[in-house]
Structure 1
Amino acid sequence: MNRKPPSTGSVTLEDVARVAGVSRATVSRVINGNTTVDPAMRELVERAVAETDYVPNRAARSLVTRRTDSIALVVSEAEQRPVADPFLGRMFTDPFFGRVVTGVMEVIRPRGVQLVLMLVDDAASRANLVSYLRQGHVDGVVLICGHVADPLPRMLAEARVPAVLSGRPGQTTPISFVEADHRAGAALAVEHLVSAGRRRIATIAGPMDMPASQERLTGFREALAAHGLAEAGVAEGDFTQAGGAAAMRRLLAESPDFDAVFVASDLMALGALPVLGREGRSVPQDVALVGFDDSSAALACDPQLTTVRQPLEEMAARMAQLLLQQISDPAEALQSAVFHPTLVIRESA
């Protein structure tokens, strides 16, 4: 890189381009969040921006680009949920959301893009959200909504709001999405349990109105069938710690003859473990336990949880990249990405 220009007056794009040794157009593309710039070029520009202390004129730029340099992370929850399951409380206790924010911020922070958190959980709040987005207060949406009947993905598509969905849409909707291969992840759990000699394998599934839960249960059943095994019991949970404890109590009451359990989330496994202990069943000696996510909850378990890892940070980063591409080029075709899970073996199985 060339030397930093004299600090007389405000630094311009031309100054940054001269220090980086690239064209003004390249600098503009990097600063505007264009994700197609060669990584080596991007690094040169970002170093030059830091060296020159360049600060974009956001107000002037927004008049030209009609962009706000902000995106929304929208979490849409089902309307019918238990009173004892406060939406906002789960946002700050479920490791899933923090990992998504981490992945998104990794992509947008270097580009000077701000993140706005928005929560919706009924028809009125969804309508207000779409109205807010139509007015251009943010440039696009990273959307978390896992319920099949949630109308928000369709509403965003109809409003032509740039958006990327976490997980495959439950209905046929023209929207980009990023998801994990949930069937393959469940199969990894079953294969590990079978290879350890377990033959009476039950599961605590996630809510059956969520495509991810449906896929994990299907993968579990398909893997059992491939080994000529029947499921030893199924109890539906709700992806919370309390829901995992309640589901384990139902399993013990209705289908107690199991030697292993595949739990569809680490947080539910964290709730299920002490229930087994109170019934005098040790893990992994009497019951092997495998979770799903590889979140901080897996390490909070005692013994620490063997689990299927879905790379949430990488998935969230990909969502942010796809969204920035849409914002930069609204005519770009919709895209999807599927990440492959891996098994993390610890002490519970």
Structure 2
Amino acid sequence: MARPGNTRRPTIRDVAAVAGVSHGTVSRVINGGHWVSPEARAAVDQAIRTTGYTVSHAARSLATGRANSVAFLLTEPQHLLFNDPTFALLLRGATEALAQRSMTLVLLVADAPVERANVESYVRAGHVDGVLLISSHESNPLLASLIAAGIPTVCTGVPLGDRAHVPTVSVDEEQSAREMTRYLIGRGYQRIAVITGPDDTPGGRHRLVGFREEMGDRFDPDLVEQDVYSSEAGAAAMTSLLERADDIDAVFAASDVMAVGAISALRRAGKRVPEDVAVAGFDDSGLAETTDPPLTTMRQPWSQISTMMVEMLLDVINGIPRESAVLPTTLVVRESA
């Protein structure tokens, strides 16, 4: 056993000696605690603290053939990682969920073709055990490549296009958009515009579908703008809408960052929010509470999404089939609408 002043790192055998169990029992505790009695587990945990033993992840990887890490893969331009708080919320939640399992999260960004090629090579080389795919575009071939390579993958949102089965954690985009649109109609707004995301993303496409279906005969295609999820895009879209229809009295922006941009454009045009034009968002990502005025929005359960994605991916890595999950959103009413 390691003693004070001894620089040798404690080993599993040291822990076993202190705990009074076999080194095989110590190994089982370290690797998940299967087939170990509560008494033996408690003795091993105490011995680990006493000896100062730490797990060698390199040795574990050699023994198990696992990297003991997973990738958080964002298929968007790098600046959106810092400009859109939804990604930071998911990153934090996934990191915390993996830390509880003594696993590491590797952040990968793959928007440009050269980035996609590098990421694909990295993942195929076994540096991670699986992938949390945080955004997906129908035109992006990376998901298909991951599936073809047999890389365990879980997605946020339901990918568009003809994809092989891959587990997903999502919200009901269409129904959520319908609920927000129904709320705006119920508040008496007549000329309701929508600013939504790219048509090759699940949110961009399905939130527009939900808005259009709930509007019914009120739907006006001239009151629709689609662009990337950014504040700048939201501002440009709002400006274009006002140029075509100055009588707009409400706008549903399909992300909070777009809504922030829309509010800035309305102010530049001399419009008050909500007195002249009401603004609603989607996400409740942290921006909504600090916006002036605070933003009415659809809240996504970010912590639950990231935790469930991690749990789902670890099951898939271990060969346990998982079904996709759809989580509820919540309408949060604030001063903007």
1:267 aligns with 2:269: no
C-alpha displacement of 1:18: 8.2
Partners in 2 of 1:28 and 1:175 — Cα distance?
A: 30
- Structure 2 distance, partners of 1:49, 1:344, is 49
Aligned residues: 322
TM-score by length of 1: 0.83
2:275 match: 285
Find the counterpart in structure 2 of residue 56 from structure 1. 55
What does residue 84 of structure 1 align with?
none
Distance 2:70 2:47 in 1: 22
Alignment partner of 1:237 out of 221, 224, 227: 227
Q: Structure 1 pair 144/45, CA: closer, same or farther in 2 (3 Å)? A: farther
8 Å contact 1:281–1:287 — kept in the other structure? yes
If asked which structure has higher relative contact order (CA below 8 Å, sep 6+), I would say: 1
Q: Does 1:188 align with 2:179?
A: yes
Q: Is the 8 A contact 2:196 2:225 kept in 1?
A: yes
Residue in structure 2 matched with residue 112 of structure 1 by the alignment: 102
Aligned with 2:209: secondary structure?
helix
- Paired residue for 2:68? 69
Give how far 1:332 is off.
2.4
CA shift, 1:334, in A, is 4.4
3-state SS, counterpart of residue 238 of structure 1: coil
SS in 1 for 2:100: helix
- Pairing of 1:82-231 with structure 2 (within 5 A): 87-171=77-161, 172-225=163-216, 228-231=217-220
Q: What is the identity, as a one-letter code, of the residue corresponding to 2:32?
A: V
CA shift at 1:293, angstroms?
0.5
**1:99-147 CA deviation, whole Å, 9 max, x = no partner?**
1111101210111111111111233332332222222111111112321
The structure having more radius of gyration, on CA atoms, is 2
**Where has structure 1 moved over 4 Å in runs of 4 or more?**
5-19, 23-26, 43-54
Q: Secondary structure at the match of 2:282?
A: strand
Which segment drifts farther, 316-325 or 331-340? 331-340
Q: Distance in 2 between matches of 1:297 and 1:194?
A: 24
Which of these residues, 228, 236, 241, is aligned with residue 251 of structure 1? 241
- 1:46 Cα deviation from its structure 2 partner: 11
Unaligned runs of 5+ in 1: 78-86
Distance 1:99 1:45 in 2: 37
Task: Tell me the distance in 2 between the aligned counterparts of 1:14 and 1:60.
Answer: 18
Q: Are the equivalent residues in 1 in contact too, given 2:173–2:206 (CA < 8 A)?
A: yes
Question: Can you list the C-alpha shifts for 1:304-346, whole angstroms capped at 9, x where unaligned?
Answer: 101001112221111111111122x2x3224311111111111
CA contact (8 A) 1:204 1:236 kept: yes
Q: Which runs of 5+ in 2 are unaligned?
A: 5-9
